Amino acid sequence: MGTRSMLFLDWAMEYYLCEKENFEILEGFLSELLQRKVVIRQIEESERIYKERRYKFNEVVMPVEIDDKELCVVELQHGGTSDYYWRKLYRVNNSLTDYVNRGGVYSGASKLYSINVAYFEIGEGKDYIYHGFTDFRGLHNKKQLKLDVLQRALCTKYVNDGMYPECYIISTNSFDNKDPKNTLDEWMFYLTYSKIRDSFTAQGMDKARKILSKGSLTDEEKRQYERSIHGRRSDDSIVDTAFFYGKLNGMLEKWAKEQEIVSYVGAMT
Separation between Cα atoms, residue 171 and residue 120, nearest integer Å: 7
The answer to whether residue 203 scores a pLDDT higher than 60 is: yes
Q: Which domain holds residue 263?
A: 219-269
User: Does an H or E element contain 247, and which?
Assistant: helix 219-268
193, exposed or middle or buried, with CB in 10 Å at 0-12, 13-18, 19+? middle
pLDDT at res. 193: 93
Separation between Cα atoms, residue 119 and residue 77, nearest integer Å: 6
| Average confidence (pLDDT) over 227-251 | 66
Does the pTM surpass 0.95? The reply is no
The answer to whether residue 35 scores a pLDDT higher than 80 is: yes
pLDDT tens digits, one per residue of 42-74: 887 544 444 444 444 567 778 888 887 788 888
**Residues 61 and 38 both lie in one domain:** yes
Residue (of 219, 209, 204, 262) closest to 2 by Cα position? 209
**Residues 125 and 139 both lie in one domain:** yes
**Residues 7 and 45 both lie in one domain:** yes
Q: Which amino acid is at 260?
A: E
DSSP per position, 134-167: ---B-TTT-PBP---HHHHHH-SS-BTTB-S-EE
pLDDT at res. 206: 94
**Residues 108 and 241 both lie in one domain:** no
**Residues 253 and 147 both lie in one domain:** no
**Confidence band (pLDDT; 50, 70, 90) for 141?**
very high
**Residues 249 and 194 both lie in one domain:** no
Number of domains present in the structure of the chain = 2
**Residues 163 and 236 both lie in one domain:** no
pLDDT at res. 108: 58
**Confidence band (pLDDT; 50, 70, 90) for 103?**
low
**Residues 61 and 16 both lie in one domain:** yes
**Confidence band (pLDDT; 50, 70, 90) for 155?**
low
pLDDT at res. 52: 41
Task: Give the count of beta carbons closer than 10 Å to the beta carbon of residue 63.
Answer: 21
pLDDT at res. 91: 72
What's the mean pLDDT when you consider all of the chain?
78
**Residues 157 and 182 both lie in one domain:** yes
Domain end residue (candidates: 171, 194, 216): 216
pLDDT at res. 39: 93
